[in-house]
Structure 1
Amino acid sequence: MAPASTLGGDRPRRCHQWRTLARHSGAQCPGRSRGRPVAVARILLAVDFEIEARLLEGIIRRGHDIVDRVTGADAVVEAAGRLRPDLALLQAGPETLTARSLAACDGAGTRTIALIAGDLERRNAASLGVVDRIEAHDDWDAVEALIAPAPYSAPAATAKPAITPVPEAVLDESVGWRPDAPSIPVAPAAPEQLSSRRDRRDRERRRRSDRREQEQAARSEQAGLIAESQQLGAGIPPAAPRTPRRAAPASQSPAAHPWQSTVIAVWGPYGAPGRTTIAAGLAGAYAAAGHRVLLIDADTYGGAIAPLLGIADEAPGFAAACRLAGAESLNVAELDRVASTAGKQVPFRVLSGISNPARWPELGRDRVRGTLATCRAFADVVIVDVGFNLETDEELLSDVVAPRRNAATLAVLENCDAVVAVAEATPVGIPRFLRARMQLIDRIGTETPVATVANRVRSAATGVDAAGQVRQALRRFGGIEDAVLLPDDPKACDRALSLGVPVVEAAPRSTLTRHLRQLAMGLVTVP
């Protein structure tokens, strides 16, 4: 960074530069422009003088307005709160781009773009989770490419299977499904020009996935028939046949046909009952059945989806999406940009969680709600791995304006279509689950269906007839009649962890995979 005298004390030279450029380009100096076009952005600059001088002509040519030029993180915090600009272009050095300055821009509704001039600044921006970045040698057109809205074309009619909920008459309340959201497949927006090798590899995987869609549609029909014959083994009655729904005509846009996809929250009490493994397994099962799947890690206490699926993503996708939602800049194209890809044979999209639990203030309630609303337009099935804690923090703190650590979990549970409640099938895990489940029902009410899953059922922990004892305990002390039991299969889980894929892909013939597919088909059926 240049010294303060260079950035803030050279006003005559800067005004002369504005007037010189304005004479040649026909633009006006900031602060003197009257009757500005609606597309003008109010910009806060905190970059080196040489870089600003190179970007200045493009800013004037586009008609934007520079509201202030500052130096250092403290000045950024003060200017963002006082001026509330639309865009902040910050040098990515640790003296300017900090967690405090980034939070101040987020609080002011300002979109932050990091300008990188070296490896140190690149690592600093990555550690803070800043997704919008440009290089120091880029011109202003690179910034315009980030802030310009991405075009969205109407999806073409496909033979992709639709999501149809199980009728209420088939399943009881504990594993029921709410048949109130019709499903119309929506194609994601065209991918942007990506530069990194990881993004190019992800884009190529998505292209191969699109070419296999018709083949997956044919296999999904066969999988539905197989699952129907196997559901009795998991305690789920077979679903009644339904008429397939037609896809939207190619000439109609998604806005003309509002719809909501299925959002499934995977929750479990404290003690690691296996909710992350089950969430990843459900995502792999739905992807193999031909659905467009988005897996979200919303655990503010210790997200584990990224390391479980081998995603070496240095910037958490869910935090980036929430930040864009807070600035009202999140759309389908931006969501596709910040999401990663998991799975090798059948890929699906992932919004990785925060690697540092101290970053939980970034996942506010309103931001999570806005992100989920965009996710419904992005995928057919949205699976969210949430944290264990269901306490309402307002009861513990007197400051009702302060951020809440459990806000992300509570926002997901309040806006989901169904909850998969995971219990560890041990003498310690079952009582812990039953106590926490009462709190879950109090929070979400009785309208949202809850499917109970007993994980890691094994005779070594419960004795002879482990499945019968687990069912009896859940029925006697929790009134749960139709729980889904998942057997303990450490070999399949270890293989999935070593390969960085869901267990349904790592061990497709294992008993655990079969039961996970039964659970998935019991929640969402494929016609």
Structure 2
Amino acid sequence: MPDRVVVLIVASGAAWEPPALERLGDDPGIVVLKRCVDVDDLLAAATAGQADVAVVGLEAPGLDRSAVDHLRKHGVRPIAIAPGGVTLDGGRLRASRIGIQLVVTDDDLAALPDAVTAAETATVVRMPRGAPPDGPPVVATASPGRVVTVWGPAGAPGRTTVAVGLAAAIARRRRRTILVDADPYGGAVAQQLGVLDEVSGLLSAARLATAGQLAERFGSVQRGIDGHLSVVTGLPRADRWVEVRSGSVEHLLEVAREHGEVVVDTGFSLEDDPGSEFGSRPGRNQMTLGALDVADQVVVVGGADPVGLSRLARALVEVRELDGSRAVHVVVNRMRTTLGWSERDIAEMVTGFARIAGLYFLPEDQVTTDRALVAGRTLAEVGDSPLTRAVSRLADAIAPVESVTGS
């Protein structure tokens, strides 16, 4: 941190602003660069890259997890000022829900200069997510589950079919499993499972994440499928991706993994929108990129035909460029003898494009998939078949029974 700490401040007309400015002005190691009009003005000022710290009222309109993520992205450390009537612990809890670690109450502004100049370390007290301000902390009762992100290139290789089948196969092992539809181009998980509720679980989760309430109200964004499987339904229309603010999907998956195993269905594109960093609106593909970033395991799905394999090869290169250290599970879907090549031939084709943790083949089984789609059921629910057995083997490899955790 430089010799003089450069500060942005936004109080939204709160009475604590004048005494706070006085306290900061008395410290020779601090310079206030700008008094921002509102949170949007603060985010624009932070983008310039000249500030180190943002002092912002905890009640400022627009202060949410997305705004905090934007500040941190541009190297600005946020400090929240809790209003009168809120205890320090209560303020810390509310701030922690949107990602702010340091809190000063407005009746103790003498502590503000030290908070501004102090390094943000792990010694800062963090309140657990979801605990009521005046209640006891939430104690985890089980180890977090894993996040498995299912991705694949354009051309409908079967991402959703694999994601739904994989989630159902893990759930059949009597493990709590949450299936999340995070496709920014309009999800199909709800339709596959016959869920007709028009309320989008993803949009509800995004709103709760923005408000810092997702952890405590996570149950409200899920739709139960059976005793062990639930789904967070996706976008009802493709154009509503703009309502999912940056960081919302990542936060959703982190909360979901506290409740069990998580399987995520994503979009096809990994192209990052270069203009998204200049405003609060995320790029469309940030939902997919965020799901891949959080993932413990990545499953890449491709078709077995010549076009599908060509797209799969390019997709594996994209994944390698995104994170070359990660080994991915590759699923070749709709494998059939009429194509004229063997599993060994395909293995030789895809080897070398990325680090591969495992290669799996799902046979073409139109009868089983049609029966499941028409009935709004999972593959496993419509009976035994070569496809359901292949998906079960995939689940064994990705989430072995002996190592699966959950509630």
Shift of the 476–330 alpha-carbon distance from structure 1 to 2, 3 Å rule, reads: closer
Shift of the 477–336 alpha-carbon distance from structure 1 to 2, 3 Å rule, reads: closer
- CA-based RMSD of the aligned residues comes to 3.1
Distance 1:496 1:290 in 2: 21
Distance 2:346 2:219 in 1: 42
1:277 to 151, 161, 164: 161
Q: Is the 8 A contact 1:422 1:453 kept in 2?
A: yes
* More helix per residue: 1
Q: Is the 8 A contact 2:328 2:357 kept in 1?
A: no
Provide structure 2 residue ranges, at least 5 long, that are not aligned to the other structure.
1-14, 16-37, 42-59, 66-93, 95-129, 403-407
2:317 to 417, 438, 448: 438
Match of 2:399 in 1: 524
Deviation at residue 468 of structure 1 after TM alignment: 3.5
Corresponding pairs, count: 281
Q: Is the 8 A contact 1:413 1:444 kept in 2?
A: no
Deviation at residue 483 of structure 1 after TM alignment: 1.2
1:375 to 256, 267, 272: 256
Distance 1:257 1:293 in 2: 16
Match of 1:454 in 2: 332
Match of 1:307 in 2: 191
1:483 has 2:359 as partner: yes
Deviation at residue 376 of structure 1 after TM alignment: 1.4
Which amino acid in the other structure matches residue 265 of structure 2? D
1:408 has 2:287 as partner: yes
Match of 2:116 in 1: none
1:337 to 206, 209, 220: 220
Distance 1:489 1:353 in 2: 26
Which amino acid in the other structure matches residue 254 of structure 2? A
Distance 1:292 1:511 in 2: 25
Which amino acid in the other structure matches residue 511 of structure 1? P
Shift of the 301–256 alpha-carbon distance from structure 1 to 2, 3 Å rule, reads: closer
Match of 1:365 in 2: 246
Shift of the 457–330 alpha-carbon distance from structure 1 to 2, 3 Å rule, reads: same
Q: Is the 8 A contact 2:163 2:263 kept in 1?
A: yes
Which amino acid in the other structure matches residue 275 of structure 1? R
Match of 1:289 in 2: 173
SS of residue paired to 1:295: strand
1:424 to 293, 303, 319: 303
Where do 1:197-276 residues align within 5 Å? 255=139, 259-276=143-160
Distance 1:512 1:387 in 2: 23
Flag the structure with larger Rg: 1
Q: Is the 8 A contact 1:106 1:323 kept in 2?
A: no
Match of 1:391 in 2: 271
Which amino acid in the other structure matches residue 337 of structure 1? S
Shift of the 478–459 alpha-carbon distance from structure 1 to 2, 3 Å rule, reads: farther
Q: Is the 8 A contact 1:474 1:481 kept in 2?
A: no
Distance 1:401 1:419 in 2: 28
Shift of the 264–482 alpha-carbon distance from structure 1 to 2, 3 Å rule, reads: closer
Q: Is the 8 A contact 2:149 2:297 kept in 1?
A: yes
1:510 has 2:385 as partner: yes
Q: Is the 8 A contact 1:265 1:412 kept in 2?
A: yes
Deviation at residue 427 of structure 1 after TM alignment: 0.3
Shift of the 316–479 alpha-carbon distance from structure 1 to 2, 3 Å rule, reads: closer
Q: Is the 8 A contact 1:296 1:385 kept in 2?
A: yes
Shift of the 407–480 alpha-carbon distance from structure 1 to 2, 3 Å rule, reads: closer
TM-score by length of 2: 0.63
TM-score by length of 1: 0.49
Q: Deviations over 1:381-439 (max 9, x none)?
A: 10000111101111x66835432111111111111101011011110001111112111
Match of 2:233 in 1: 352
Provide structure 1 residue ranges, at least 5 long, that are not aligned to the other structure.
1-33, 35-78, 83-104, 111-148, 150-187, 190-251
Distance 1:369 1:317 in 2: 15
